[in-house]
Amino acid sequence: MDVIITDESSIGDLVADDIAALLQQKPHAVLGLATGSSPLRIYDSVATRVARGELSLAQARGFTLDEYVGLPDGHPSQYRTVIDNDFVSRVDFAPGAVRAPRGNAADLGQACHDYEAAIRAAGGIDLQILGIGTDGHIAFNEPGSSLASRTRVKTLAEQTRRDNARFFDGDVAAVPIHCLTQGLGTIMEARHIVLVGTGLGKAEAIHQLVEGPVSALWPATVLQHHPHVTVLVDDAAASRLQLADYFRYTYAHRYLVQ
């Protein structure tokens, strides 16, 4: 696991560099797209490069991580709408190239099965962008999730509904109780995972993710078993890391391929 402690404003460009390198080598790469505030600077940086003609996603495809159950299409807080507004509409993906779990399908079990099949048919995810919840969830895999879980229906923790109420005009009651989410086992199949966490509220979750025992109590800790994870955090989110000095040292002395 590479841990990069840097200022929040650099994170977007660093991850966009990784995405650009991937697309140069593999124009039809598959990106895993997270919603939430953490990836916004990444999307800004990628959109700027596309607008300048430096980068194209015309052959790329994308899969989002999760979706609320029951929100109608076009609802401003539906993750499908959010990713369209925050990213897809600002770059040059081909129509239909970005998929999301169908949280308003009549048969949710089938929708989960179809989503797993679509990711497999696309050849798997090359680069997965992740945020992290204050309780250590990734996507919507709440504490207690099986570390081998697949895409399925989950019940949101009350903490997560409180955290996400800001996207529902502050009304916790308006946040759906159920969601569809890629499982931890699904996420672990991505070839490269890039997790972004900023702010003091994420400090404990980042400490557990990087340094805690692997446990369903902190679902993000499963990433310790993944061979290629990059964690990007600001000073506040890094403030509980026991190895912070070591991570700063390793990044300052990173080996650059000539």
- The contact set with ligand GLP (CB under 6 A) reads 34-38, 65-66, 131-133, 139-140, 160, 164
Count other Cβ atoms within 10 Å, centred on residue 108: 18
Least distance from ligand GLP to the Cβ atom of residue 82, Å: 10
Burial class (CB in 10 A: 0-12, 13-18, 19+), 35: buried
Least distance from ligand GLP to the Cβ atom of residue 93, Å: 20
Least distance from ligand GLP to the Cβ atom of residue 11, Å: 12
* Helix (H), strand (E), coil (C) string for 204-225: HHHHHHHHCCCECCEHHHHHHH
CB 32 within 8 A of CB 62: yes
Q: How is residue 200 annotated by DSSP?
A: G
Active site residue 135: yes
Residue nearest ligand GLP by beta-carbon distance: 131
Catalytic residue among 135, 163, 207, 234: 135
Q: Cα–Cα distance between 129 and 257 in angstroms, integer?
A: 24
Q: Cα–Cα distance between 218 and 179 in angstroms, integer?
A: 19
Pairing type for strands 61-64 and 98-99 reads: parallel
Of 97 and 128, the one with the shorter C-beta distance to ligand GLP is 128
Catalytic residue among 86, 142, 163, 234: 142
Active site residue 66: yes
CB 131 within 8 A of CB 125: no
Side-chain-side CA neighbours of residue 233 (13 Å): 28
Of 131 and 176, the one with the shorter C-beta distance to ligand GLP is 131
Least distance from ligand GLP to the Cβ atom of residue 258, Å: 36
Of 131 and 183, the one with the shorter C-beta distance to ligand GLP is 131
Of 35 and 45, the one with the shorter C-beta distance to ligand GLP is 35
Size of the chain, expressed as the number of residues it contains = 258
Q: Cα–Cα distance between 169 and 126 in angstroms, integer?
A: 35
Catalytic residue among 67, 86, 126, 137: 137
Catalytic residue among 66, 67, 86, 234: 66
Of 145 and 164, the one with the shorter C-beta distance to ligand GLP is 164
Pairing type for strands 61-64 and 30-33 reads: parallel
Active site residue 137: yes
Of 212 and 250, the one with the shorter C-beta distance to ligand GLP is 212
Q: Cα–Cα distance between 194 and 160 in angstroms, integer?
A: 21
Least distance from ligand GLP to the Cβ atom of residue 37, Å: 4
Least distance from ligand GLP to the Cβ atom of residue 70, Å: 15
Which residues are known to be catalytic? 66, 135, 137, 142
